[in-house]
Amino acid sequence: MAISRSSIIRGPAIVRMGSQSFYSKDDITVDITPETFDIVSSTGGKLSERTSDVVARITFTPVGAWTANQLTVLYPYTNPTIGGSVFGSSDTSVQVWPIDGTERFTFACGAITKMPSLIMTPAETLMGEVEITCIIANNQERSTAGSLYTYSATAAFTAAPNDERNFALSDVLTVPYTATFSGPAGWTSQIESTGGFSIDFDLQTTPIMAANIGTVDHIISGLDITCTFQPLNFTAKQLMDRLAVDGNALGKDISSAAGNLTITGGSASTPKVVLNNLRLRSAPMLYSLENLRSDDIEFFSTRPTGAGTMFTVGFGP
């Protein structure tokens, strides 16, 4: 059977969220898989499936442009309110817009439900995978056409002032990083690592369901942050002092050993990340001919009672 090459649908896209657009390092995945429940009978077994909810999830890895506007969109939970709305009182539209102008999807309401991890090393781009969850538009019936998304068979791509259509390569920053940690003597000096600093953001959300509509919101139920790296210049005593396990009774709140970690490229034009209220969770040591004394160590923080900025992302020395 003959086939025309022009009929084969393929090609990359950008993701536009609000006024910001994002290029991806690799594929963009759009998953619109309905949640279903089974209709069963004792005589016939499973007879059918029926829809119980529909949400869309868009995942991709940003190319890594480090700009203030991009960071505001990708990292919205620097000071999360437990129990607060993820989607807010007004909708933010999300578009998956192919560069060739075919088959554009515009989702009515989207929010970041997974912030990109950070890989702070000169040998890689900065960001890991991001997830955007899209739900039905605010104050809409599920049966209303376009309440979840609209589809355009052809939509010629046009550049806009805030567009990453021709993003500046100079915004993709790959620089050396060092860190400082508030705490005992020796930790506030420059911290060097063997392979850079890896930061992960574990955002926990809980969907809010309406019987006749499905998912209408998510609430924030928690945020955990971990940072791992292999230090070059820590002594075993420094690590054990920060771990604070010797001489402490079981049940002790380990937040007494907390501090703030600042990771920076060293100038006002390079990335700077500050992680607040971190505690050292693990600090394995190696006694080896070939390996360093310290293996990868892990710091973590979780949302404390009350308010407070858990982290910041931006620029600075």
Tens digit of each residue's pLDDT (9 = 90 or more) over 207-247: 999 999 999 999 999 999 999 999 887 888 888 887 877 77
pLDDT (0 to 100) of residue 163: 52
Can you count the helices (H) and strands (E) in the chain? 2, 19
| Report field, pTM of the whole predicted structure over 0.85 | yes
Give pLDDT, residue 161: 46
- Two tokens, residue 184: 């005992």
8/91: higher pLDDT: 91
> For the segment 126-180, what is each residue's pLDDT rounded down to a tens digit?
999 999 999 999 999 999 999 999 999 988 877 554 454 567 888 999 999 999 9
Nearest to 158, CA basis, from 16, 24, 294, 297: 16
φ and ψ of 155, to 5 deg: -155, 95
Beta carbons within 8 Å of 172's beta carbon, 6+ residues apart: 63, 64, 65, 66, 125, 126
> How does the average pLDDT of the chain come out, rounded?
89
Cα angle 161, 166, 171 (rounded to 5 degrees) comes to: 90
Strand partners, 152: 104
